[in-house]
A and B are shown apart, each in its own frame.
Chain A
Amino acid sequence: MVPARATGAAVAGADLDRDQAELRFHELYRANFRPVQGYAVNRLGAADDVPDVVAEVFTIAWRRLADVPPPPADRFWLYGTARRVIARRHRSAGRLRNLLGRLAAEWHPTQQPPAGAFDPVTEHVLAALAELKAVDREALLLVHWERLSYAEAAQVLGCSANAVGIRVHKAKARMRALLGEETGGGRHVAVVRPNGAIDGS
Chain B
Amino acid sequence: MDLDTLLTEAAPARHLPLDGPDSPVAVRLYGQITAQPPGARQSRRRRYAFLSLIGVAATAAAAAVTLALLPGSPAAPGHRGGQGRTTLAAWSVIKEQHGLLRLTIRELRDPAGLQQMLRAAGVPANVRFVHHYFMASTSDRGMPKGCLKPRMSNEANAKLQGKILPIHPWPTGGVAVNIRPSAIRRGIGLYLKAWAASPGTSSGAYLSLQIDLVRATPRCTGS
Contacts and interface: CB of A to CB of B under 8 A. Distances in A.
Interface of A: 15-16, 18, 21-22, 25-26, 29-30, 33-34, 37-39, 41-42, 45-46, 51, 54-56, 58-60, 62-67, 85, 88-89, 91-92, 95-103, 110, 113-114, 118, 121-122, 125-126, 129, 140-141, 144-145, 172, 175-176, 179, 181
6 contacts: A55-B29, A55-B32, A66-B40, A95-B62, A125-B7, A145-B8
Chain B: interface residue count, which band?
35 or more
B79 interface: no
Interface in B16-45: 16, 18-21, 25-26, 29-30, 32-34, 36, 38-42
B99 interface: no
Nearest to A144: B7
Given A58-B29, A100-B165, A126-B10, A92 B19 contact: no
Contacts of A62: 33-34, 36, 38-39
Chain A binding surface, main DSSP class = helix
Pairs A-B, 10 closest by C-beta atoms: A21-B38, A63-B39, A38-B13, A97-B158, A125-B10, A92-B56, A33-B21, A101-B166, A66-B41, A145-B11
Contacts of A101: 161-163, 165-168
A95 B61 contact: yes
A103 B58 CA distance: 18
Contacts of B131: none
Contact of B33 (A15, A59, A85, A98): A59
Given A59-B33, A97-B159, A42 B56 contact: no
Contacts of B40: 15-16, 21, 66
Given A100-B162, A181-B2, 7 more contacts: A37-B19, A39-B13, A63-B50, A65-B39, A66-B40, A95-B158, A114-B12
Contact of B55 (A88, A103, A145): A88
A169 to B, nearest CB: 12
B58 A18 contact: no
A36 to B, nearest CB: 10
Contact of A29 (B10, B16, B30, B51): B30
A46 B15 CA distance: 10
B7 A140 contact: yes
A22 B38 contact: yes
A51 B60 CA distance: 23
Contact of A92 (B16, B29, B33, B60): B60
Contacts of A16: 38-40
Of the listed residues A46, A89, A100, A114, the one surrounded by the most CB atoms of chain B closer than 10 A to its CB is A100
Of the listed residues B18, B33, B55, B64, the one surrounded by the most CB atoms of chain A closer than 10 A to its CB is B55
B222 to A, nearest CB: 24
B47 interface: yes
B4 interface: yes
B16 A97 contact: no
Contacts of A172: 3
Given A64-B39, A175-B7, A98 B162 contact: yes
